Structure 1
Amino acid sequence: MYFKRGDLIIYGLIIGIFLTLGINVYNIKETKAERAEIYVNNKLKYTYKLQKAEKDFYVDTDIGGVGIKLKDNKIRVTSSYSPRKLCVKQGWIERSGQTIIGVPDKLLIKIVGKEEAEVDFILR
C-alpha cells in the first residue's frame, strides 16, 4: 500500500483541522455554577444559591408539588406527583447550563453561572 503525494496532503489537512478544533474546544471557558433558578408555569418562582450544606424544600405545582434537595453545590428533585417521575430520575445537576424539566408539573430548574463581561460581537 503506497500513498500518493495528494493523499498525504489531504490527510495532513484533515489532521490539521481536527487539531485546530480540539484546541478550540479545550480552550472553552466553563462558567462557575452559582445559583439555581426554579420556574413554575414559565415564571421564575425561586432562586437559591448553590451551597455545601444540605437543604430540603418543597415547591407547589399544578399537580401537587415537588420535593427538591440542595447539597454539595448540586440540586435534584427528590419527589413528584407526576406519573412517570422523570424529573426525579434525572438526578443531580451541578454545572452551569444544566436543567431538570418536569413536564406535567410545568417545572424547570436551571443552573446559572456568573455572567462574564466578555463581548462576543457588536452590532451597528
Structure 2
Amino acid sequence: MNMKEFIKNSRLKPWDGVIVLVLIVSSFLPIILFSMQQTAESAVVEKRAILRVDGEEIKTFDLIEGQETFTYLYEDDDGDSNLIEIQGDRIRIKEADCGDQICVRRGWASKNGETIVCLPHKLVIEIQTADGSDMDDLIY
C-alpha cells in the first residue's frame, strides 16, 4: 500500500492534523502563562525591613536586590548601640554591645516575616513585603 492509497482510505481529513497540533500546543498554555505571571510578580514585589525599639518604629530600610551595602548605627539614650548592615535584599545586625550577642549570631534575614531580635536593647527588625503580600510564603 503506497502513501496515496493510505491517505485516501484514512478517516483523517487534511485539517485534522492541524487541529490536533493546536490542541497539544494549547494544553501547555496555562503552564506558560502561570510561570510568566509568577516571574513578573516576583520581580515587582520589593521588601523592606522595619526597625522597632520598644514597639516604636524607628526606621524603615528598603531591601532591593543589587543595591550597595551600607550600615546604620542605632544608639539609644543609654548609650546602647547596634550596627545594622544592609546588603542588597538582606539585613543583619553586624555588631552590638549587648552581652549575649544572639542578635549578631542570628545572621542575615531576607524572607518575608523573618525577624532579628536584640532583647537587651528591646530592638526588633522585621522583614515585610512593601505591598503587604505574602510573597515568600508561597511554595513553588
Q: TM-score range by the shorter chain?
A: 0.5 to 0.7
Pick from 67, 79, 86: which aligns with 2:102?
A: 86
Q: 1:21-71 CA deviation, whole Å, 9 max, x = no partner?
A: xxxxxxxxx9x5511000011100001111321011101134511000000
TM-score by length of 2: 0.57
State, as a whole percentage, how many aligned pairs show the same letter. Answer: 24
**1 CA distance for matches of 2:56 and 2:114?**
18
Segments of structure 1 that go 5 or more residues without pairing to the other structure are 1-29, 117-124
Q: CA RMSD in A?
A: 2.2
- The residue correspondences of 1:33-112 to structure 2 (distance < 5 A) are 34-51=47-64, 52-61=67-76, 62=78, 64-112=80-128
**1 CA distance for matches of 2:60 and 2:68?**
16
**1 CA distance for matches of 2:132 and 2:80?**
34
How far does residue 72 in structure 1 lie from its aligned partner after superposition?
2.2
How far does residue 96 in structure 1 lie from its aligned partner after superposition?
0.6
Larger Rg: 2
Over 2 Å off, 4+ runs: none
The number of residue pairs the alignment matches comes to 88
Greater RCO (CA < 8 Å, at least 6 residues apart): 1
TM-score by length of 1: 0.64
Normalized per residue, the structure richer in helix is: 2
